[in-house]
Structure formats: C-alpha cells, structure tokens
Amino acid sequence: ETPLSTPTARDSLDKLSLTGHGQPLPPGFPSPFLFPDGLSSIETLLTNIQGLLKVAIDNARAQEKQVQLEKTELKMDFLRERELRETLEKQLAMEQKNR
C-alpha cells in the first residue's frame, strides 16, 4: 500500500510549468499560488519588491543630490564667514595699532 502524500509547492510549480505560459489550467485545478493574470504569487511579490527597490533607489538618488546641494551651500557660507572674520581681524589689528 502506497502512502498518500500531500501536494507541495514544488508539485504546484511543476504542474504550472507543464501548462505553459498563458494557458488556462483545467477546471478544478488547485492553484493556491496563482492570480487571475496567470502570474504566481511569488512572481507578483518579486515584481512588487522590484518596484519598491526602484522607488527606493530613486529616493536615495534624490536625497543624495539634496545633500550635495546643502553641502555646497554650507561650504560657501563657511568661506564667506571666514573671509568676513579675516577682514574684521585685520580691521581690529589696524585699530589697535593706531591707538
């Protein structure tokens, strides 16, 4: 007597690959891994993950661009402040010398 085995995800994937892409499954076929458009839930999840990764990459690039702009602005502010400080130090030195 052969023991009954429960179908596994592997069995479902094997049956799925036998049907060919886009071909309908026979009526009553157990298809817990399929969506109406014929994509498996794993494929759909991977597609969604890929979309999320693209959005994350775009956001990271935009954020990096913003950081670079802010860094440039801060550097310019720093240089202006340093130039102003040096000018004021020279003026102070001249006034102290003239006393």
pLDDT tens, 68-95?
999 999 999 999 999 999 999 999 999 9
Q: Residue 43 has what pLDDT?
A: 93
* Res. 17 pLDDT band, cuts 50 70 90: very low
**Taking all residues of the chain, what is their mean pLDDT, rounded to a whole number?**
80
CA distances from 64 to 51, 57, 68, 73, 79 (A): 20, 10, 6, 14, 22
Of 20 and 58, more confident: 58
How many whole angstroms separate alpha carbon 22 and alpha carbon 39?
A: 9
How many whole angstroms separate alpha carbon 72 and alpha carbon 63?
A: 14
Predicted TM-score of the model (pTM):
0.48
* Res. 26 pLDDT band, cuts 50 70 90: low
Q: Residue 99 has what pLDDT?
A: 85
Q: Residue 52 has what pLDDT?
A: 98
